[in-house]
Amino acid sequence: GSIDQLVELVAADMERVNATILSRTGSDVTMIPEVANHLISSGGKRLRPMLTLAMANLAGYAGEGHVKLAASVEFMHTATLLHDDVVDESELRRGRLSARMVWGNEASVLVGDFLLGQAFRMMVEVGSLRALDILSSAAATIAEGEVMQLAAAKNTATTEDEYLAVIRGKTAELFAAACEVGPVLGGRPKAEQTAAASFGMNLGIAFQLVDDVLDYGGKSAKLGKNVGDDFREGKITLPVVLAFRRGNDVEREFWVRALEQGKIGDNDLNHAIGLMTKHRALEDTLNRAHHYGAMAVDALALFPPSPMKGALEQVVAFCLARSH
């Protein structure tokens, strides 16, 4: 799996998206473009805006609105990352110091707010009230997911269903919205809008499952983030839910001490990874990811075969393959 084919197929549109991103991060308040560009030009894949462009293309959309909506999607994503690194107290992002480590938490939150505002201005310029509804609803849902996660933090009694509700909100909803606005702009039938949203939702769930595996099983250098952040934060992700559920009393005491009481010693991350290996928690989280990946591919069934559809199928495989 690779995103090369998608990158190639949307390249012309993406150039316009990038120009739009550059101009809309502009401000006389120089700290705004500084902070925004630190993150925006740090080599992200631009996966979400590419999905908007791809779905608009699949819908046969011939207008201009998809460029601004794709830029809006990337701004929303960038805003969530700026806020996320504050909430998570993360030091690294895409292999660089996070914006909050360079400019502070205040600047990160506020520049995120600026980008969110700019995103909504562009949506209004596009003039599709339906697209505005989808993307603004996504913004609210993302925040809901994060608040749900906060409420579940340090609680080892969190269930798999509760975890799934969190990642649907905090991650998958933006993928779903990014995809759904394509056929909406193209004026395509409701069934195609729903299928595009379902593709994005299932891909997004798979994406976050893999992200949560990599936080224990990845390599910091390749990840551009610190392995073990979730553990140190007491975040209850699916690998933890599975290892806790399958563990014996002594093991559960370990999870409670580390995640609920935050008493974490030098070797505890290694011990946690050892327990996950013993109980196949990372493996089974990846199995779940593959299941959602398969559902994403299935959701594309009602679109006729095309190079773009093939490229989207490869994106699913790419997201799953990030894990090794």
Which residues in this chain contact ligand 2DE in the complex, by CB under 6 A?
76, 79-80, 83-84, 87-88, 90, 112, 116, 139, 142-143, 146, 170-171, 211, 225
Contact flag: residue 229 with Mg ion (CB under 5 A): yes
Q: What string of DSSP letters covers 133-167?
A: HHHHHHHHHHHHHHHHHHHHTT-TT--HHHHHHHH
| Closer to ligand 2DE by Cβ: residue 16 or 154 | 154
Look at residues 251, 250, 233, 88 and name the one whose alpha carbon lies nearest to residue 242: 251
Q: Among the residues of 186-306, which ranges form H helices?
A: 190-217, 220-223, 229-233, 238-246, 249-255, 268-278, 281-299
Q: How far is the CB of 124 from ligand 2DE (least distance, A)?
A: 17
CA distance 77 to 215: 20
163 touches 110 (CB < 8 A): no
Residue 44, phi then psi, degrees to nearest 5 = -65, 160
CA distance 109 to 111: 6
Provide the Cα torsion 301, 307, 310, 311; round to 10°. -130
Binder of residue 142, out of Mg ion, ligand 2DE, none (CB less than 5 to 8 A by kind): ligand 2DE
**Residue whose entry in the numeric block shows the structure tokens 């975040």:** 235
| Closer to ligand 2DE by Cβ: residue 5 or 27 | 27
| Closer to ligand 2DE by Cβ: residue 19 or 140 | 140
| Closer to ligand 2DE by Cβ: residue 32 or 308 | 32
* Binding map of Mg ion across residues 57-96, x = CB under 5 A, - = no contact: ---------------------------x---x--------
Residue 92, phi then psi, degrees to nearest 5 = -120, 145
Q: How far is the CB of 276 from ligand 2DE (least distance, A)?
A: 17
| Closer to ligand 2DE by Cβ: residue 45 or 278 | 45
Binder of residue 171, out of ligand 2DE, Mg ion, none (CB less than 5 to 8 A by kind): ligand 2DE
For residue 284, how many other CB atoms are within 10 A of its CB? 17
| Closer to Mg ion by Cβ: residue 84 or 268 | 84
Binder of residue 112, out of ligand 2DE, Mg ion, none (CB less than 5 to 8 A by kind): ligand 2DE
Q: How far is the CB of 116 from ligand 2DE (least distance, A)?
A: 5
| Closer to ligand 2DE by Cβ: residue 206 or 311 | 206
For strand 92-93 and strand 96-97, is the pairing parallel, antiparallel, or unpaired?
Answer: antiparallel
Binder of residue 116, out of Mg ion, ligand 2DE, none (CB less than 5 to 8 A by kind): ligand 2DE
Binder of residue 295, out of ligand 2DE, Mg ion, none (CB less than 5 to 8 A by kind): none
CA distance 87 to 288: 27
82 touches 111 (CB < 8 A): yes
| Closer to ligand 2DE by Cβ: residue 233 or 268 | 233
Under rule CB under 5 A, which residues in 182-211 are in contact with Mg ion? 211
Q: How far is the CB of 28 from ligand 2DE (least distance, A)?
A: 23
Residue ranges in contact with Mg ion by CB under 5 A: 84, 88, 211, 229
